[in-house]
């Protein structure tokens, strides 16, 4: 009996212990679950908050970057109006001093193993080569410190990528916002500065050097006399000869089919420069028309130089006149200006025209003349000589006035011409295109007639002889000028004094030295 009671007692004790144990376990689990839930909730809220803050930060950075880009564009538009005729050097200096924009899709390939660029360091330009090179696209203003940098990482082909802007804000290290585990968004920004160099200082230095590269691209020219080595026809042309608004693979210059390596890129860097907003693009590189023009010149038999300098030929065909469509003019030939012979005058005049006529870059130059109201015509842009559009200028030479409708407008200065060929020739003033090259020297010309006239220098031909002396001249104008020496004619009189001069140039110099108000 006693054993039975003991057994029952033990059983009851065991049951009670089990119940208590279960209750304790349940209690513990409940507490753990509650705490875990609270903890998770807190984590979730923190993560959510972090995402929100991160998103705000990114939006803010994007906004700042856009504003900065726009401001730089405006500054650049103002700053890129040099007053000197030495456009090449001035442009180089200006680029050093103030900085320039690079093209939004321009890729500068930094030499491997270097974190910085030197000014004299050879630069290659790469586009979509999918190599293991770094593509650094920057919009930078040197005088404002670290700026907006557009960066496309290697292998990325999405043109929109270049529109992703990362701003290097002071006190906000780029890496601080990049948590690969908690921030799956914004993968683009993770191709960050560290890809360029290790430290911020190095980044800044790199950007400065990139500026050098940029201005090299901007102030290109074809001064063959001053820099004939650039004309090596077989090697890859230097970066100076690459158009800034198109990515081109330097290795493609020898391949005619590969010229338009940027053709699949619907965007254009100059759109970023001229208007970071939604300015339509008018860049017509390597269009059929221009290509045809080039081919025509190349086959004209004037010179072998037309073809064997195909690298420079890229300079030629950047601009094409379009008579239809409604696209704004986009001056895109800055990199082709500064020719030593033209002395940059036309480039400067064009810039002046931009100053005096901002509409040049804001409305289509391709309007038919008939579409222009008289007022707009009268206030139209000046030509390279400062004359108003359609004003018969050039020394008051008698013309038939508007006998021929000037339907074709220059896309740079809006000057009107009667036919497409004329405006194409004229636009070479802006583009620097010189399709006609001398076979006996490095001189190149915009017009076939100029080449023909130039070749008399080599032949020694002087068909214009003075009837009153032994002098002979290669140009009729020279003979005419010479004859004034015989006749004593001095048709140019100073309005401020009694001096008279046989040439307008003398009068002008006289006025500058004697009657200058400055």
Q: Shortest CA distance to 74 belongs to which of 235, 333, 208, 274?
A: 274
Cβ closest to DNA, residue 73 vs residue 334: 334
CA distance 25 to 27: 5
Which helix (H) or strand (E) is 12 found in, with range? helix 2-79
477 makes contact with DNA (CB under 7 A)? yes
452 makes contact with DNA (CB under 7 A)? yes
368: burial class by Cβ within 10 Å (0-12, 13-18, 19+)?
A: middle
Residues 194-223 that bind DNA (CB under 7 A): none
Cβ closest to DNA, residue 135 vs residue 426: 426
Residues 336-375 that bind DNA (CB under 7 A): 339, 341-343, 345-346
Cβ closest to DNA, residue 269 vs residue 437: 437
Which residue from 122, 235, 266, 449 is in contact with DNA, where contact means CB under 7 A?
449
Distance in Å, CB of 477 to DNA, minimum: 4
Residues 21-50 that bind DNA (CB under 7 A): none
Q: Shortest CA distance to 207 belongs to which of 141, 111, 258?
A: 141
499 makes contact with DNA (CB under 7 A)? yes
Q: What are phi and psi of 500, to 5 degrees?
A: -130, 155
Distance in Å, CB of 403 to DNA, minimum: 7
**Tokens for 306?**
């037309």
Using the rule CB under 7 A, give the single segment among 30-38, 141-149, 280-288, 450-458 that binds DNA.
Answer: 450-458
CA distance 53 to 36: 25
Which residue from 38, 41, 476, 496 is in contact with DNA, where contact means CB under 7 A?
476
3-state helix, strand, coil in the chain (%, to 5): 45, 5, 45
393 makes contact with DNA (CB under 7 A)? yes
Cβ closest to DNA, residue 182 vs residue 447: 447
Which residue from 321, 429, 435, 437 is in contact with DNA, where contact means CB under 7 A?
429
Cβ closest to DNA, residue 264 vs residue 440: 440
Q: Shortest CA distance to 157 belongs to which of 138, 130, 192, 132?
A: 130
CA distance 218 to 352: 18
CA distance 451 to 306: 12
Residues 295-334 that bind DNA (CB under 7 A): 296
420 makes contact with DNA (CB under 7 A)? yes
505 makes contact with DNA (CB under 7 A)? yes
**Tokens for 467?**
């009837």
Which residue from 168, 426, 431, 437 is in contact with DNA, where contact means CB under 7 A?
426
Give how many residues touch DNA by CB under 7 A: 71
Using the rule CB under 7 A, give the single segment among 93-101, 129-137, 141-149, 413-421 that binds DNA.
Answer: 413-421
CA distance 255 to 444: 23
**The length of the chain, given as a count of residues:** 518
Residues 81-140 that bind DNA (CB under 7 A): 85
């Amino acid at each position: 009996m006693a054993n039975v009671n003991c057994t029952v007692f033990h059983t009851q004790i065991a049951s009670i212990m089990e119940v208590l144990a279960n209750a304790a376990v349940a209690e513990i689990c409940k507490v753990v679950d509650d705490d875990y839930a609270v903890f998770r909730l807190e984590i979730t809220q923190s993560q959510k908050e972090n995402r929100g803050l991160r998103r705000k930060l990114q939006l803010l950075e994007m906004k700042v970057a856009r504003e900065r880009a726009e401001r730089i564009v405006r500054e650049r538009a103002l700053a890129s109006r040099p007053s000197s005729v030495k456009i090449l050097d001035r442009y180089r200096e200006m680029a050093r001093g103030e900085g320039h924009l690079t093209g939004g899709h321009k890729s500068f390939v930094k030499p491997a193993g270097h974190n910085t660029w030197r000014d004299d360091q050879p630069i290659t330009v790469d586009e979509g080569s999918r190599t293991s090179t770094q593509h650094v696209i920057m919009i930078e203003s040197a005088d404002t410190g670290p700026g907006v940098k557009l960066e496309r990482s290697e292998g990325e082909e999405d043109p929109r990528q270049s529109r992703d802007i990362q701003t290097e804000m002071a006190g906000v290290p780029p890496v601080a916002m990049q948590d690969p585990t908690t921030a799956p968004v914004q993968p683009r920004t993770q191709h960050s500065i560290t890809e360029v160099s290790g430290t911020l200082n190095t980044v800044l230095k790199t950007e400065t050097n990139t500026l050098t590269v940029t201005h090299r691209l901007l102030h290109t020219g074809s001064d063959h006399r001053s820099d004939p080595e650039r004309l090596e026809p077989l090697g890859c042309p230097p970066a100076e000869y690459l158009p800034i608004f198109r990515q081109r693979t330097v290795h493609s210059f020898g391949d005619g089919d590969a010229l338009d390596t940027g053709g699949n890129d619907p965007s254009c860097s100059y759109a970023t420069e001229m208007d970071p907003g939604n300015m339509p693009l008018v860049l017509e590189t390597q269009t059929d028309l221009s290509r045809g023009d080039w081919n025509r010149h190349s086959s004209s038999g004037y010179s072998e130089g037309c073809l064997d300098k195909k690298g420079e030929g890229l300079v030629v065909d950047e601009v094409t006149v379009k008579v239809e469509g409604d696209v704004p003019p986009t001056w895109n030939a800055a990199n082709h200006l500064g020719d030593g012979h033209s002395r940059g005058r036309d480039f400067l005049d064009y810039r002046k025209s931009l100053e005096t006529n901002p509409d040049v870059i804001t409305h289509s130059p391709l309007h038919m003349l008939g579409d222009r109201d008289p007022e707009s015509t009268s206030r139209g842009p000046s030509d390279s000589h400062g004359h108003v559009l359609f004003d018969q200028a050039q020394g008051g030479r008698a013309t038939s006035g508007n006998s021929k409708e000037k339907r074709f407008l220059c896309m740079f200065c809006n000057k009107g011409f009667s036919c497409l060929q004329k405006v194409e020739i004229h636009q070479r003033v802006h583009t620097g295109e010189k399709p006609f090259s001398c076979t006996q020297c490095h001189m190149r010309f915009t017009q076939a007639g100029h080449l023909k006239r130039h070749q008399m220098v080599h032949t020694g031909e002087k068909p214009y002889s003075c009837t009153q002396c032994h002098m002979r001249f290669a140009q009729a104008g020279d003979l005419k000028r010479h004859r004034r020496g015989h006749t004593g004619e001095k048709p140019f009189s100073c309005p401020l004094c009694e001096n008279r001069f046989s040439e307008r140039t003398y009068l002008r110099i006289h006025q500058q030295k004697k009657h200058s108000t400055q």
